[in-house]
Amino acid sequence: LKKLLRNLLPDPLQLTLQLDFFSPSAGPNSPHAPTPQIPGALQAPPQPKPGKPGIGRRHLQVREHLLEYGLRRSKRRSIGFIIDDDGLQVTAPRWVTIAEIEGAIREKEAWIFGKLAKRRERMAHMPPPMEWRDGASFPYLGRTLELRIANAQAQSARLDDDGNVLLISLPADAGEQQLKDLVLGWLQREARQLFGERLPVYAEKLGVQYRAFSLSSAQTQWGSCTADGRIRLNWRLMHFALPQIDYVIAHELAHLREMNHSPRFWATVQSVFPEFEAARRALREHAPSTLPVF
Ligand SMILES: [Zn+2]
């Protein structure tokens, strides 16, 4: 009977823990409403915004810790905890009291402090901003590429034989901007070539035809696709390993069959890219602040 009652009456303090990080982008199992976006656009993770509207910051003393958390009231029937880039976020029904919320936090403090510690560790491991000089390195196709700069009259950029060093030639009086432009130009040529090779592979698997593709350098989108088959892919994807690039390509091309993010769309992606969830997660969890700024 107890069990029956429990099923009939929703437990007001039932806790929903979302493991790992939260992204506002809608996915196949996402309980969140899709964020408004251009049809076919694949969102890059947004930069953390301090002081999100509609979220109040609160403090709670938990043993020796002063815990800060964001509280949002919602129509949901349970208290939810999420650790995101801003720390602990609590979502609770309007009728749950602060005392009950604080009780729920204390009940889950081991999980919360464990996750917060992992987040701190992750942030401490973020590399310092890119320095544009000889010996600097940046992520390239999932590995690390080192810049080796030599002086020469004519400027050029090419990979060494092992593919781990980008050999740069620049006039001795060249400034940082000239170096950035040279590396950017090289990366974009590489992107055009690689994307141009991968697009036909997935177009054939999906049985679709795209009309044209171009590079974008959007800050918040990895790719987009229009109904008439124009694909745009962010050259910054070149910082990621091939599976992540292939996922974005498969995603955009799959929109030529399903111009939405419905379960049918995700099933289409999965049919040609079964491991898409892992690639999605990798893209979503990658802090944009770790990508070099050009
Ligand atoms: Zn999409």
Q: Where is pLDDT greater, at 7 or 152?
A: 152
71 alpha carbon to ligand 1 midpoint, in Å? 30
- The C-alpha angle 194, 200, 202, rounded to 5 degrees, equals 100
3 alpha carbon to ligand 1 midpoint, in Å? 42
> Which residues, other chains included, contact 207 with Cβ-Cβ below 8 Å and sequence gap of 6+?
257
234 alpha carbon to ligand 1 midpoint, in Å? 14
250 alpha carbon to ligand 1 midpoint, in Å? 10
Q: Where is pLDDT greater, at 195 or 39?
A: 195
pLDDT in tens, 52-110: 556 788 999 888 888 999 999 998 888 999 988 778 999 999 999 999 999 999 999 99
Q: Which of 23-27, 55-59, 152-156, 220-224 has the lowest mean pLDDT?
A: 23-27
How many whole angstroms separate alpha carbon 119 and alpha carbon 167? 36
127 alpha carbon to ligand 1 midpoint, in Å? 30
- Which pLDDT score, from 0 to 100, does residue 273 have? 96
Contact assessment for residue 231 and residue 252, using Cβ atoms and an 8 Å cutoff: yes
Contact assessment for residue 100 and residue 82, using Cβ atoms and an 8 Å cutoff: no
- Average pLDDT along the chain: 81
In this predicted structure, the answer to whether residue 48 has a pLDDT above a threshold of 60 is no
141 alpha carbon to ligand 1 midpoint, in Å? 22
Cβ neighbours, 10 Å, residue 175: 11
Residues of the chain above pLDDT 70, percent? 79
Q: Where is pLDDT greater, at 185 or 30?
A: 185
- Which pLDDT score, from 0 to 100, does residue 54 have? 60
Average pLDDT over residues 27-50: 42
- Which pLDDT score, from 0 to 100, does residue 246 have? 97
7 alpha carbon to ligand 1 midpoint, in Å? 37
Average pLDDT over residues 231-247: 95
Strand 15-17: give its sheet, edge to edge. Answer: 15-17, 79-84, 87-93, 65-74, 56-62
Contact assessment for residue 237 and residue 222, using Cβ atoms and an 8 Å cutoff: yes
175 alpha carbon to ligand 1 midpoint, in Å? 39
Q: Where is pLDDT greater, at 116 or 12?
A: 116
Q: Where is pLDDT greater, at 273 or 120?
A: 273
Q: Where is pLDDT greater, at 47 or 148?
A: 148
In this predicted structure, the answer to whether residue 127 has a pLDDT above a threshold of 70 is no
82 alpha carbon to ligand 1 midpoint, in Å? 24
DSSP letters spanning 107-125: HTHHHHHHHHHHHHHHHHT
- Which pLDDT score, from 0 to 100, does residue 128 have? 63
How many whole angstroms separate alpha carbon 76 and alpha carbon 113? 24
Is pTM beyond 0.85? Reply is no
- Which pLDDT score, from 0 to 100, does residue 92 have? 93
Average pLDDT over residues 124-137: 79
- Which pLDDT score, from 0 to 100, does residue 52 have? 53
